[in-house]
């Protein structure tokens, strides 16, 4: 038997919004320690890795490890039936064919239940090597979303260049060029408003704007995003999810032909 | 010219 109750049901709604445009379907792997999801987009350019720890749920029970293959468009339909202030409980039997989503209003006088058919997904899991990144940037997630949105008007690719002086995002296309430079913050009142750069060596890499814009759909999950870069390896874009876990996006760079 | 790399070039199947 599997049961996971989340009083802050809006978090699960936001998580789904953060992955549903990138992934058509995905396996939710449930174990005693929590729920994990790892999936590539259809083009195999990016990878989503989601971890929700069991201790972040208000109630969590998982007697046997189980994998629930879900169509994310179907799950989105169900999540639209859940109010932002409602409590979500996910339930499934051992070796399940279906998963049940139960939504409770805060005062308990309305309970909705939706049962969704599961899919058999033969998804490969990829091993993500431990990496000491050359540059790790922490910045306000809203600022990152804004930069991705602004620069993607000009070209399909964005160059991210990080040095000790700061970080520069740039693009070029038919109508011209654009760039945004962010300096490391010297002093801030609020930590989540800071731009913090931890740099071992400078890095310049090129990425597809389309994917970065997709990752930015996780912005409502966290005020801060971290970008980890090293030469010739995928970029990691991480959003922490309150006290429960994180969503990480890995994006393969554009490389010299 | 740059071409888009695949994520599977970097991360191997488990």
Assign residue A242 a region (left: φ > 0; alpha: ψ between -120 and 50; beta: otherwise). left
pLDDT band at A208 (very low <50, low <70, confident <90, very high): very high
Task: Kindly determine whether residue A46 and residue B7, on different chains, have CB atoms separated by under 8 Å.
Answer: yes
Mean pLDDT of chain A: 96
Q: Which positions in chain B touch A160 (Cβ < 8 Å)?
A: none
State how far the Cα of A256 lies from the Cα of A227, in Å rounded to an integer: 22
Task: Kindly determine whether residue A234 and residue B3, on different chains, have CB atoms separated by under 8 Å.
Answer: no
- Chain B residues touching chain A at CB-CB below 8 Å: 1-14
A23-A26-A29-A30 Cα dihedral, nearest 10 degrees: 90
A67 in reach of chain B (CB within 8 A): no
**Which of B1, B3, B14 is the closest to A126 by Cβ?**
B14
Q: Please state, for a pLDDT cut of 70, what percent of chain A lies above it.
A: 100
Q: What are the distances in angstroms from CA A82 to CA A10, A28, A110, A116? A: 8, 19, 11, 14
pLDDT, position A213: 98
Give the count of Cβ contacts less than 8 A between chain A and B.
58
pLDDT band at A191 (very low <50, low <70, confident <90, very high): confident
Alpha helices in A58-205 (DSSP H): 72-79, 141-151
What residues of chain A, 176 to 195, have a C-beta less than 8 Å from chain B? none
Q: Which of A128, A172, A207 to mutate to test the interface with B (most CBs of B within 10 A)?
A: A128
Task: Kindly determine whether residue B12 and residue A255, on different chains, have CB atoms separated by under 8 Å.
Answer: no
pLDDT, position B12: 87
**pLDDT digits 0-9 by tens, A155-176:** 999 999 999 889 999 999 999 9
Pick the closest to residue A143 from A190, A178, A180, A197 (CA basis): A180
**Which of A44, A125, A255 is the closest to B7 by Cβ?**
A44
Assign residue A228 a region (left: φ > 0; alpha: ψ between -120 and 50; beta: otherwise). beta
pLDDT, position A123: 80
Task: Kindly determine whether residue A206 and residue B2, on different chains, have CB atoms separated by under 8 Å.
Answer: yes
pLDDT, position A174: 95
**pLDDT digits 0-9 by tens, A50-84:** 999 999 999 999 999 999 999 999 999 999 999 99
pLDDT, position A145: 98
- Closest chain B residue to A130 measured between Cα atoms? B11
ipTM of the complex, rounded to two decimals: 0.96
State how far the Cα of A157 lies from the Cα of A102, in Å rounded to an integer: 42
Q: Which of A36, A67, A124 to mutate to test the interface with B (most CBs of B within 10 A)?
A: A124
Angle at A244 between CA A238 and CA A246, to 5 degrees: 15
**pLDDT digits 0-9 by tens, A81-137:** 999 999 999 999 999 999 999 999 999 999 999 999 999 998 889 999 999 999 999
Instruction: Render each residue's pLDDT in chain B as its tens digit; 14 residues.
Output: 789 999 999 998 88
- Closest chain A residue to B2 measured between Cα atoms? A256
**pLDDT digits 0-9 by tens, A3-35:** 999 999 999 999 999 999 999 999 999 999 999
**pLDDT digits 0-9 by tens, A176-186:** 999 999 999 98
């Amino acid at each position: 038997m599997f049961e996971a109750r989340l009083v802050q049901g809006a978090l699960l709604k936001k998580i789904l919004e953060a992955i549903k445009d990138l992934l058509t379907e995905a396996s939710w792997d449930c174990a005693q320690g929590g729920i994990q999801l790892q999936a590539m987009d259809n083009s195999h350019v990016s990878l989503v890795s989601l971890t929700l720890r069991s201790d972040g749920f208000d109630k969590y029970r998982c007697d046997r490890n189980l994998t629930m293959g879900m169509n994310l468009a179907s799950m989105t339909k169900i999540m639209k039936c859940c109010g932002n202030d409602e409590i979500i409980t996910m339930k499934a039997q051992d070796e399940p064919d279906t998963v049940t989503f139960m939504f409770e209003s805060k005062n308990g006088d309305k309970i909705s239940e939706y049962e969704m058919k599961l899919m058999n997904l033969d998804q490969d899991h990829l091993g993500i090597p431990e990496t000491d990144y050359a540059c790790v940037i922490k910045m306000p997630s809203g600022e990152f979303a804004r930069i991705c949105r602004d620069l993607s008007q000009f070209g399909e690719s964005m160059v991210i260049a990080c040095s000790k002086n700061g970080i520069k995002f740039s693009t070029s296309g038919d109508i011209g060029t654009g760039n945004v430079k962010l300096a490391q913050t010297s002093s801030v009142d609020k930590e989540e408003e800071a731009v913090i750069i931890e740099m071992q060596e400078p890095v310049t890499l090129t990425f597809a704007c389309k994917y970065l814009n997709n990752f930015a759909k996780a912005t409502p999950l966290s005020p801060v995003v971290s970008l980890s870069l090293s030469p010739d390896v995928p970029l990691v874009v991480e959003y922490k999810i309150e006290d429960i876990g994180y969503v990480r996006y890995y994006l393969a760079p554009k490389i010299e032909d | 010219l740059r071409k888009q790399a695949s994520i599977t070039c970097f991360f191997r199947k488990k």
